[in-house]
Structure 1
Amino acid sequence: MPTRILLEGRPGAGKTTLVRRLATLLRTRRAVGFTTEEIRYGGTRSGFALETLEGGHRAVLAHVDFPGPPRVGRYGVDLDVMEQFALPPLMSAAADPVPGDLVLIDELGRMELACTAFQDTVRCLFESDIDIVATVHAHRDPFTDALKQRPDITLLQVTRANRDTLPDDLAARLEKP
Structure 2
Amino acid sequence: MPTRILLEGRPGVGKTTVVRRLAALLHTRKAVGFTTEEIRQGGTRTGFALEPLAGGLRAVLADVDFPGPPRVGRYGVDLGVMERLALPPLRSAATQPVPGELVLIDELGRMELACTAFQDTVRCLFTSEIDIVATVHAKSDPFTDALKQRAGIELIQVTQANRDTLPEALAARLESP
Q: TM-score, normalised by structure 2?
A: 0.99
Shift of 1:30: 0.3
Q: Distance in 1 between matches of 2:93 and 2:104?
A: 11
Name the structure 2 match of 1:104: 104
Name the structure 1 match of 2:174: 174
Moved over 3 A (4+): none
What is the correspondence of 1:4-153 to structure 2 with a 5 Å cutoff?
A: 4-153=4-153
Shift of 1:57: 1.9
Shift of 1:151: 1.2
Over the matched positions of the two proteins, sequence identity in percent amounts to 83
Secondary structure at 1:47 match in 2 = strand
Q: 1:86-142 deviations in whole A, cap 9, x for unaligned?
A: 000000000011110000000000000000000000000000110000000000000
Structure 1 spans left out of the alignment, 5+ residues: none
Q: Distance in 2 between matches of 1:46 and 1:32?
A: 27
Q: Distance in 1 between matches of 2:57 and 2:93?
A: 18
Q: Distance in 2 between matches of 1:151 and 1:139?
A: 20
Shift of 1:13: 0.7
Q: Distance in 2 between matches of 1:124 and 1:37?
A: 25
Shift of 1:56: 3.2
Q: TM-score, normalised by structure 1?
A: 0.99
Secondary structure at 2:133 match in 1 = strand
Choose 113-122 or 48-57, whichever is displaced more: 48-57
Secondary structure at 1:66 match in 2 = coil
Q: 1:32-67 deviations in whole A, cap 9, x for unaligned?
A: 000000000011000000000013320000000000
Q: Distance in 2 between matches of 1:78 and 1:11?
A: 21
Letter in 1 for 2:159: T
Name the structure 1 match of 2:3: 3
Q: Distance in 1 between matches of 2:15 and 2:55?
A: 21
Secondary structure at 1:156 match in 2 = strand
